[in-house]
Chains A and B, each alone.
Chain A
């Protein structure tokens, strides 16, 4: 099982969908952000898994995974900064209460 690429991919897919669910269902901006982190981690798992089972990708997968982590860090920084900024205006982290613009 641990020797099969498919197993890791299935695992990653499930993690991705859990993240998707969290993103679609949670009201808290930070919870949504965490869900996105889960999704990105799922993709990273896919990348590392490919590397582990494909000789010419083996080293490259590690590099790519590291870079994706850095991107995720940058994204988290920006996201949290925006969350803090809007919290100052609205006093709530609940995204569904930001609805001044619609239609």
Chain B
């Protein structure tokens, strides 16, 4: 085992070791339950950064990246499955986000969970999650990826339901798990289909053979589409895309650091990562790509429209996450893989920042999440305010912060690749995003204070273990776009991702990206997205207030105008406020109808023989045998069932044996 292989192994061993240790002795560490877990993750982060540096900057492992087999799961026959891992440029990009946000969330949690008696459990779960997520990005075959896929689902279940005493938390956890399970079915079927058609599950081999098989017609186009859609179903579940998006907002029942880590920066990106990873497969099916783009952009606008009216600060962010994930899928669908990964990275940082910031706010106002009961916090929580403002500007897409570059890249690529409708919807979403983010900022930080008077005097800035991570996250949120995305179309990210998506670009017929033309189409597109972003921000500022003390800028909120607008758009408002009734619809379709079907089948099992028997009984009575009414005895019914089944089997053998 080489040093690098050892390091990759350590990358997995540290978090799982931390999990085991914390689970075993964490309870006895009392206040310091975090010490093992955080230590393990910091070490993980250091190793990860070393690997990232080697991969992306030194190009130490070549274009293909580092691949190795840790051990063979089943060492014989063609039934071989290995525990093999890979670190390539795509993995490295994910490692940056996962490890950095993960580490900062761990640090943040020290303060956030300081008063929770179950904190040792929390840190154990966090480590378990980090292990699963790292396994997910490092896995080099589909079965291992699937195992990690289930594991992140499990750790997410544990973390959402962390406060299991709260009914809503337990229910949300269950919902998340079960909805994910629906997606997993698709993913599992997709993996089975790959096994049958390609004959292996190892990524390098699968992706090498897929184009050849498609070309030679062994895999028909419709099969390829089916394959891609099955895998995509898995992504839809994990990344909460329409129509499986319903679990994510509920998942906000978990502690806020969890929301930041899992439901913004890491786990929900797993679907995007998987589609990007399997790009050679997806590009073989244009119709699947089209559908992915459609689902993505629809989710984006749907979620943005819901975020408009939500009052719970975390729910706004949750819907915003859905919407941004939708962007990423739209990018994948239009073939802009690099842009999708770029947005994944920037979004991971600024959304992690926003969530942690919201956690700081909630912590500051003593566990209040309703934005109507906040306001005027900018003065009392200056660090939280500033960092969240950076995050908000970043997500709104105002240059030169991170969000602008990645979002513009997506929209630009959509236009250029012939998906003008995706661009058009996307630009509307950009407008809405800017608006609802500054609505959030206005309601929370500016405007008059609606904080509970009892709490008001005790509102305070959060402890350092919470603000430092905020500050640290604000830096990449601000500069990552420039660092990776400038010059537009030829930035670092393009260089990094080029080897990963080379084949896909070839299939799609993309050549080298042309240099950015300020006065050409590029300039127009960039200008358009900046314009709508600014428009959205300004509108929100007018309605919900704004204040920049240094520049002397300030605006008062105008609740009357908001009220009037709301009244005029009442149906839209109601729809948005009730999340377009998706939960009710789901309840109706899946829970009620599913229950009905299950009950029906159960009834079938119990009563079919009974029914027949009762019919016979009725016949018997009428034929005058004078049988009295007797309670139904089961054994004879069972025996009759067995006898009839025996007859069916015998007849079956007779019929089949005649061949």
Give CA–CA (A40, B209) in the complex, Å: 60
Question: A10: CB under 8 A from chain B?
Answer: no
A23 touches B639 (CB 8 A): yes
Give CA–CA (A25, B613) in the complex, Å: 12
B631 touches A97 (CB 8 A): yes
Give CA–CA (A64, B408) in the complex, Å: 85
Question: A103: CB under 8 A from chain B?
Answer: yes
Question: A91: CB under 8 A from chain B?
Answer: no
- Count A-side interface residues using an 8 Å CB cutoff: 15
Check A95/B606 contact, CB under 8 A, given A20-B643, A24-B643. no
Of A24, A95, A97, the most chain B CB neighbours within 10 A belong to A24
A96 touches B643 (CB 8 A): no
Give CA–CA (A23, B637) in the complex, Å: 11
> Could you say which residues of chain A place their CB within 8 Å of the CB of B630?
96
Question: A98: CB under 8 A from chain B?
Answer: yes
B606 touches A102 (CB 8 A): yes
A99 touches B640 (CB 8 A): no
Check A24/B633 contact, CB under 8 A, given A102-B606, A103-B606. no
A96 touches B631 (CB 8 A): yes
Within 8 Å by CB of B633, from A20, A23, A95, A101, lies A95
B634 touches A25 (CB 8 A): no
Within 8 Å by CB of B632, from A20, A23, A96, lies A96
> Could you say which residues of chain B place their CB within 8 Å of the CB of A24?
636, 639-640, 643
Interface string of B599-618 (1 = CB under 8 A from A): 00010001000000000000
List residues 627-650 of chain B with CB under 8 A from any CB of chain A.
630-636, 639-640, 643
List residues 48-103 of chain A with CB under 8 A from any CB of chain B.
94-99, 101-103
> Could you say which residues of chain B place their CB within 8 Å of the CB of A94?
633
> Could you say which residues of chain A place their CB within 8 Å of the CB of B643?
20, 24
Within 8 Å by CB of B635, from A20, A98, A103, lies A98
Nearest neighbor of A102 in chain B, beta-carbon distance: B634
List residues 535-565 of chain B with CB under 8 A from any CB of chain A.
none
A27 touches B634 (CB 8 A): no
Give CA–CA (A102, B630) in the complex, Å: 16
> Could you say which residues of chain B place their CB within 8 Å of the CB of A32?
635
> Could you say which residues of chain A place their CB within 8 Å of the CB of B632?
96, 99
- Count B-side interface residues using an 8 Å CB cutoff: 12
Nearest neighbor of A20 in chain B, beta-carbon distance: B643
Give CA–CA (A23, B524) in the complex, Å: 86
Interface string of B134-168 (1 = CB under 8 A from A): 00000000000000000000000000000000000
Check A96/B635 contact, CB under 8 A, given A20-B643, A24-B643. yes
Give CA–CA (A98, B630) in the complex, Å: 12
Q: Closest CB of chain B to A95's CB: distance in Å?
A: 5
Give CA–CA (A102, B607) in the complex, Å: 11
A25 touches B636 (CB 8 A): yes
Give CA–CA (A102, B639) in the complex, Å: 15
B606 touches A99 (CB 8 A): no
Q: Closest CB of chain B to A103's CB: distance in Å?
A: 6
> Could you say which residues of chain A place their CB within 8 Å of the CB of B631?
96-97, 99
> Could you say which residues of chain A place their CB within 8 Å of the CB of B634?
96, 98-99, 101-102
> Could you say which residues of chain A place their CB within 8 Å of the CB of B606?
102-103
Within 8 Å by CB of A27, from B602, B633, B640, lies B633
Q: Closest CB of chain B to A9's CB: distance in Å?
A: 16
> Could you say which residues of chain A place their CB within 8 Å of the CB of B640?
24
Nearest neighbor of A25 in chain B, beta-carbon distance: B636
Nearest neighbor of B639 in chain A, beta-carbon distance: A24
Give CA–CA (A33, B558) in the complex, Å: 87
Nearest neighbor of A101 in chain B, beta-carbon distance: B634
> Could you say which residues of chain B place their CB within 8 Å of the CB of A27?
633, 636
Interface string of B451-493 (1 = CB under 8 A from A): 0000000000000000000000000000000000000000000
Q: Closest CB of chain B to A16's CB: distance in Å?
A: 12
Give CA–CA (A62, B658) in the complex, Å: 34
Give CA–CA (A18, B630) in the complex, Å: 24
Give CA–CA (A99, B632) in the complex, Å: 8
List residues 1-33 of chain A with CB under 8 A from any CB of chain B.
20, 23-25, 27, 32
A99 touches B633 (CB 8 A): yes
Q: Closest CB of chain B to A71's CB: distance in Å?
A: 20
Give CA–CA (A97, B636) in the complex, Å: 11
Nearest neighbor of A96 in chain B, beta-carbon distance: B633
> Could you say which residues of chain B place their CB within 8 Å of the CB of A20?
643
Within 8 Å by CB of A97, from B602, B633, B639, lies B633
12 A-B contact pairs sorted by A residue (CB < 8 Å):
A24-B639, A27-B633, A27-B636, A32-B635, A95-B636, A96-B633, A96-B634, A96-B635, A96-B636, A99-B634, A101-B634, A102-B634
The 8 residue pairs across chains A and B that have the minimum distance between CB atoms: A96-B633, A95-B635, A24-B639, A99-B634, A24-B640, A103-B606, A95-B633, A23-B639
Chain B residues within 8 Å of A, Cβ to Cβ: 602, 606, 630-636, 639-640, 643
For the A-B complex with A27-B636, A99-B632 known, give 6 more contacts whose Cβ atoms are closer than 8 Å: A24-B639, A24-B643, A99-B633, A101-B634, A102-B634, A103-B606
